Structure formats: C-alpha cells, structure tokens
Amino acid sequence: MARYVWSLVAYVVVVRSPTEIICLASSFIFYWAELQMEEDKAKLEAGAEALEKAALSFHPQEAQAEDAGVVLLH
C-alpha cells in the first residue's frame, strides 16, 4: 500500500488550462467507473463523457503558439 501511495505522490502533472483540469477529472471518473458495479459504471461513464464534451465545447479550437507540436490523445 505504501508503495502505491508513493507512486501517486511522485506523479506530477503540469496543467496549463482549465480545460485540462476538467479532462483530467473526466479521465479519473472513467477510471473510477471501471471499479464500480455495472449500474453505477454506466452512470459514471455517461457523466464523465458529458463533462468532457462540455469542457471541450468551451475550449478554443486553434492551438496556442506554445502548444505547437503537442499531440492530445483521446
């Protein structure tokens, strides 16, 4: 258990925009959904997808200059 906690503490994420925060939260919810019962899993996945779609609808479609060469994977 201590090793698992340390691996979480040692993992650093640099977030550059509010949209990234929402997408990271959505990703965590998708992960968490896999650990739940089927009924709850479907609800969590639907909520995570709605959250991600809402965040991306407000995100500018054109990349900023400092993001040149960065690839976002879904």
Question: pLDDT tens-digit profile of 14-66?
Answer: 777 888 889 889 999 999 999 999 999 999 999 999 999 998 888 766 556 66
Greater pLDDT, 20 or 68: 20
pLDDT over threshold 60, residue 3: no
pLDDT attached to residue 59: 74
pLDDT attached to residue 58: 82
pLDDT attached to residue 35: 92
Greater pLDDT, 72 or 14: 14
3-state helix, strand, coil in the chain (%, to 5): 65, 0, 35
